[in-house]
Amino acid sequence: MGARILAGAPAAQAILAQASQRAVKLPDRPHLVLVRAGTDPASLSYVRGKQRHADIAGLRSTVHALPESVTLPELLALIATLNADRDVHGILIQLPLPAHLPVALLQEAVDPRKDVDGFHPLNVGRLWTGGGGSDHPLLAPCTPLGVLALLRHYEIPVAGRRAVVVGRSDIVGRPMAAVLLGADATVTVAHRQTSDLGAVTREADVLVVAAGQPWLMTPDMVRPGAAVVDVGIHRIPGDGHQLHLTGDVHPEVANVAGALTPVPGGVGPLTVAQLMLNTVIAAERQID
C-alpha cells in the first residue's frame, strides 16, 4: 500500500489564516523586515516568497538588499536601527550570508523580541527549557514549528511515540528535536557520525529527515507504517535538461511509510506560513 501523502498547503493555509486573524486585532499591521546580502539565487527567491506571503497574511514587509561586500559594522548598524524602530516588529536575516560575515554574531545582535527566526541564543535557550522562565509566547524556528503543525493537522500522534530526527543543523535538526521533545515524543537525533543509521531510523514512528543529502533515506531504513517528513530540497538533473526537485527521502519510501510529505509541496509552504505567525506573535509581544 502507498503512503498517505501529507501535502503542506492545507496546514499552511490554516496557519496563514490564524496569522491574519490575529494581525487585524493589533493596533498596527505587523511589519516584517527581511535583510539579505549578496546574490545567492535561492535566497532571492525565498525572500520574494516571504514577501508574497506577508501580503497574503495582511502583514507589511520591507527588504534591505545589501551588496555582497557589505561589512560587519554596516550590518550591525542596520540591525541596531531596526531594533530601535518601534514600527518594525520582526527582523529576519536571510541565510546564507556571504562567507566573510559571522552569522552567530549577527543573530545575537537582533533584539530577541523581534527574532522571528528564533535563532537568538536567548530564544534557543527558552525553547530547550520548554519556554520555562518566560511569561511570553515562544519565538522558535519556523521549519520545526511548521513540521509539528503539519503532524497535528494530519492527526499523526507524537506524544509517547519514538521520533528520530536525521540532521543536527541549528536551523532544523536541533530545534526540531526540542519541538518534538516539547510535544512529548521520545527523541533521538542522528547525524553524519551515527553508526548504522538505518538501525536508528527504523526505530522511528515519526521520522524527520533534514540531512541535506538527496535520497539518503531508502525504503530499508524506514519502519513500515512510519510517518516520514522530508525537509530536504535539492535540484537534481531530471529527464533531458530539466532540473527536478527532490528531497532527502527516496521516492520508493512511499511503498513502506504510512505517511510521507512530498517534495516540493510538503514542508516548504509551512516554513513561510509559520514565519508570518511568528511575526504576529512578535508584534503582539511588543504592544505597550
> Which residues are at the interface with ligand GUN (CB under 6 A)?
92-95, 117, 142-143, 171
| 168 marked ligand binding residue | yes
Residue with smaller CB distance to ligand GUN, 142 or 229: 142
Sign of the dihedral through C-alpha 38, 94, 166, 18:
negative
CB of 196 to ligand GUN, least distance (A): 29
Answer whether 167's CB lies under 8 Å from 212's CB. yes
CB of 233 to ligand GUN, least distance (A): 10
Residue with smaller CB distance to ligand GUN, 170 or 284: 170
Residue with smaller CB distance to ligand GUN, 93 or 204: 93
Residue with smaller CB distance to ligand GUN, 116 or 249: 116
| 169 marked ligand binding residue | yes
CB of 167 to ligand GUN, least distance (A): 13
Answer whether 231's CB lies under 8 Å from 262's CB. no
Residue with smaller CB distance to ligand GUN, 30 or 175: 175
CB of 271 to ligand GUN, least distance (A): 6
CB of 93 to ligand GUN, least distance (A): 6
| 152 marked ligand binding residue | no
Using Cβ positions, the residue closest to ligand GUN within the complex turns out to be: 95
Catalytic member of 107, 114, 117, 248: 117
Q: Does 111 participate in catalysis according to the annotation?
A: no
For the annotated binding site for NADP(+), the residues are 167-169, 233
Active site residues: 50, 94, 117
Annotated binding site: 167-169, 233
